[in-house]
Amino acid sequence: MSEKNVKEYYIKKKGKLLKTFEERLEIARELLSKKFDNLKVNEIINQIKLEYEQIIPEIPYIGGQKNPTTQVLIKCVSNLALFRILEKNGFSFNEIGEFHYHFSIGNHKIRKEALQKAGRDPSLYPFDTVYLDYQKKLTEATQKRMYSYDWVMDFVEGDGKSFAWGWDVYECGVQKVFKKLGDEKYLPLICLGDHYEAEALGFGFTRTKTLGFGASMCTHRFVKNYKTPRAWPPQKLKEFNAEFWNK
């Protein structure tokens, strides 16, 4: 892909990206309606959409559709627009975190229903053999370090007891981008989203440390026959580090 096409990759997809984000913002609208009147809710939603539109050209290219983590990066950057605007509208860091919890759970429940309608069990998808093979190939690809803003991680074989499999993440694309944009303080909120997904979809997930809370790596572990506990508020999580909260 030419340098010009790389730079314009997200710009060309802006319409689709905005539409997808607007669909996710319906949950945000419901949450905001509990605090503000319709006029204020519409104002905040429009601010969030405009903020995201302005951020889109700043998303680094990490391989486009050929790299599955591109979608992760896009989603997390869209959440950044949400965080920024909530803060501008008087939300404290903790209030943004709580909002993000309910926002994430609400959208994952929609995803859960879609998976169930398709005949899939949301609680089992991380343990599917096809999915595991896909993840092994993905982690191998990250080690080639083709893109400076991409992830770098290892696939970790489980012991069959404490966990089925996992990732050890040494470099996080979201952390790199948030730092580039001057918004690294929000990274812990993004990290907590992994717990929210597991809670909402019903699969087992644990983690003892994460880059977003100042550790040298993230230790994602997927566990069979385990109910992921609610991760909000996060202070009781093993990965939690107060020094990286509410800076």
Q: Which domain holds residue 133?
A: 3-244
Q: What is the pLDDT of residue 138?
A: 95
Low-confidence ranges of the chain (pLDDT < 50): none
Helix axes 69-88, 173-180, angle to 10 degrees: 40
Task: Please state the pTM of the whole predicted model.
Answer: 0.95
Q: What is the pLDDT of residue 31?
A: 98
For residue 97, give both structure tokens.
């975190």
What's the total number of domains in the chain? 1
Q: What is the pLDDT of residue 160?
A: 84
- CA 84/CA 189 separation, integer angstroms: 12
